Chains A and B, each alone.
Chain A
């Protein structure tokens, strides 16, 4: 599983509260991604990173921010959670040599 973990795996939070999801890798790959997965929409890119402190927006970035202060950690923050952000969030990395993309186990977030 390419040494990629996510925490927490499940979270229930209230509307308006801040939430941070963590993605951690052990293999020093440069590219990391955050996706959300919702029925009927497949996997949609939120933000991605191409190195420490280098990030860019994906197609559904509104309401989300990211940070990458170390190669191994990529954080996704919902500044003020809304019910529309209830989803399953997947972190992924891209292997630096093969270019294959591997996913973390996912975080199920429920905003009530």
Chain B
């Protein structure tokens, strides 16, 4: 099956700086890569996703990039704010079959005011 690895496990940045979280996957058949943000005591919330026919996607201060050849994808947060502090999870799946999602182990991001 698919194996998703996520780095780093913890990340601290100064407010206003950028944060980058990286994930790798093993199965070249994976074609859908979502990112989730989970605040303490809350459910994971989808913040951005990318499909394998696209190399980059942006939504305001967040962006995701995908390198299919190297089998890795990254989350970029610019101009970080204290409310960006949370645990972020990456995942990999197959759009067409709609079955399993495979998650990374999470990155705890702390934005220091």
Interface on A for B, CB 8 Å cutoff?
1, 30-31, 33, 40-45, 48, 50, 56, 58-59, 90, 94, 99-106
* A-contact 0/1 string along B41-64, CB 8 Å cutoff: 001111001000000000000000
Q: Tell me the complex Cα distance, A86–B44, Å.
A: 19
Return the chain B residue nearest A41 by Cβ: B105
Interface on B for A, CB 8 Å cutoff?
1, 6, 32, 34, 36, 43-46, 49, 89, 91, 93, 95, 98-101, 103-106
Q: Which among A50, A56, A102, A105 is the interface contact of B46 at CB below 8 angstroms?
A: A102
Taking a contact as CB atoms under 8 Å apart, the answer to whether B98 and A50 are in contact is yes
Chain A neighbourhood of B98, CB < 8 A: 30-31, 50, 94, 99
Q: Tell me the complex Cα distance, A98–B44, Å.
A: 17
Q: Tell me the complex Cα distance, A90–B45, Å.
A: 12
Taking a contact as CB atoms under 8 Å apart, the answer to whether A101 and B101 are in contact is yes
Q: Tell me the complex Cα distance, A99–B36, Å.
A: 14
Q: Which among A42, A45, A101, A104 is the interface contact of B104 at CB below 8 angstroms?
A: A42
Taking a contact as CB atoms under 8 Å apart, the answer to whether A58 and B100 are in contact is yes
Chain A neighbourhood of B46, CB < 8 A: 100-102
18 A-B residue pairings within 8 Å (CB atoms): A1-B43, A42-B6, A42-B104, A42-B105, A43-B103, A45-B100, A48-B99, A90-B43, A90-B44, A94-B98, A100-B46, A100-B49, A101-B91, A101-B93, A102-B46, A103-B44, A103-B45, A105-B43
CB distance from A60 to the nearest CB of B (A): 12
With A99-B95, A100-B34, A100-B49 in contact, do A45 and B43 touch (Cβ < 8 Å)? no
Most interface-central of B34, B43, B44, B89 (chain A CB within 10 A)? B43
Q: Tell me the complex Cα distance, A103–B36, Å.
A: 10
Q: Which among A42, A99, A103, A105 is the interface contact of B106 at CB below 8 angstroms?
A: A42
